Amino acid sequence: MESSLYKVRKAVSSDINGMLALNYAIYPEEWHVDKGYVERNMQINDEVYNVLQASGGIKGIFSLFPLTRDDYESMLCGTLEEEELPRHLLPYDAPRHVCLYLISFIVDIHDPLRKAYAKALIQAIPDELRRLESEGIIVDEIGAIAITDDGRRVLKRIGFTAAEKVDFFGQTFQVYRARPEDLYQAIKLG
C-alpha cells in the first residue's frame, strides 16, 4: 500500500534501528528484542519484516515468520520462546508448506496518521500472502498472540478467530488463528 506520504515495503538492514525504536515505544519491555535478534532473522529470511516508511521514519511494522507446523504449534502453546525463533525460522528457498506466526503488528500510536498507517499495514497482509503463494509457498495457517486490547481488536477485525490461551511472563494471553482465506475475506480494500 502506498500513498504520497508513506509506503509499505520489505525491511532492509538500515531499517533495524527504526524498527527497534518503534518496538520499544509500543511493546512492554518483556517483549523487546535486540538488534542481533533482528539481524539473525534477516540473515535467515530477509522477507519476514515489512515496514511502513514515512517521512518521519518507520511508523509501522508487521512480521510474518514461516515455521514448520510443529514449531508453529510450539510457539502458540508457549513451549517455544520468541528468542529461540531464529533457530526455527524457515527461509523461502523452495516451494513448501508453512505456518506463519504474526510476531508483530505495530503502528506508531502517537502519530496523527496512525489510523491511515494501520489501514495500510492491514491491507498489505493479503498482498504478502498472495506474493508468497506466487512463489510456491503454501500458507496453511497464520497465528498470533495478542498482548494488548488493540491487538485483540485488530486481529478479530482482520479475520482471526480466538483460540486457546497461553501463558508468558506470568500473564495469560489470547491466541488467534486464521487461514489465508479468512484474511482475504475480512480485509477489504478501500
Residue 190: what pLDDT? 44
Enter the pTM of the model. 0.92
Q: Which residues contact 99 (CB under 8 A, 6 or more apart)?
A: 66, 67, 68, 69, 72, 73, 139, 140, 141, 142, 143
Residue 26: what pLDDT? 81
What is the separation, in whole angstroms, between the first and last Cα of the chain?
11
Q: Which residues contact 139 (CB under 8 A, 6 or more apart)?
A: 98, 99, 100, 129, 132, 133, 180
The residues pairing with 13 across neighbouring beta strands, listed in sequence order, are none
- How would you write 117-161 as a 3-class SS string? HHHHHHHHHHHHHHHHHHCCEEEEEEEEEECCHHHHHHHHHCCCE
Q: Which residues contact 167 (CB under 8 A, 6 or more apart)?
A: 78, 173
For 50, phi then psi, to 5°, come to -125, 130
What is the C-alpha to C-alpha distance for residues 156 and 158, in angstroms, rounded to an integer?
A: 6
Question: Residue 94 is placed in which grid cell?
Answer: 523452495
Strand residue runs (E) in the chain: 6-10, 49-54, 57-67, 96-107, 137-146, 161-168, 171-178
What is the C-alpha to C-alpha distance for residues 178 and 154, in angstroms, rounded to an integer?
A: 13
Residue 81: what pLDDT? 86
Residue 189: what pLDDT? 57
Identify the DSSP state of 78.
T
pLDDT tens digits in sequence order for the chain, 190 residues long: 557 789 999 999 999 999 999 998 887 777 788 999 999 999 999 999 999 999 989 999 999 999 999 999 999 998 998 889 999 999 999 889 999 999 989 999 999 999 999 999 999 999 999 999 999 999 999 999 998 888 899 999 999 999 999 987 788 999 999 999 999 999 975 4
